[in-house]
Amino acid sequence: MPRFRRVIDMASGEQAMVPFTAEEEAAADAASAAEIAAYLPAAIKDECRRRIFAVANETAQMNMASHAAAGLFDAGKHAAYLAALTWVAEMRAACAALIAAADAAFLNDDAWPACPPDAAALAANY
């Protein structure tokens, strides 16, 4: 799609829309690529955070950590807690890989590891 710029004749005040030159198109493309490159890491990190918090918000995470530290989990809940910690580590690794690849498909569910059902069930209790 061609880009245009507004040109104003200073003597008459008339305005016209003029297509970009090839050099202006190249500069605009480079600026767009730079803007995307600057935006993408933060957007990927935000998506990772959103997905983790969708399973366990900050309060749930603190409560689970407190229960684990106090030894209040039975063996099943402790295993689910460890699965949750492993999943968060996998999410962080996926986040780093998506950032390194500058992968714009980071909103796709298949770009992220699935949360183990027992970990999600444990978090839902908090």
Taking the C-alpha atoms of residue 95 and residue 91, their distance in angstroms, rounded to an integer, is: 6
Q: Is the pLDDT of residue 79 over 80?
A: yes
> What are 25-78's pLDDT values in tens digits?
777 777 676 777 778 899 999 999 999 999 999 999 999 999 999 999 999 999
* 62, 65, 98, 115, 123 from 109: Cα distances, Å: 26, 27, 13, 11, 20
Contact 64, 56 (CB under 8 A): yes
What is the share, in percent, of the chain residues with pLDDT greater than 70?
Answer: 96
Cβ burial of 17 (10 Å; 0-12, 13-18, 19+) is exposed
- Residues 70-94 as b or e (16 or more Cβ within 10 Å = b): eeebeeebeebbebbeebbeebeeb
User: What pLDDT is attached to residue 1?
Assistant: 67
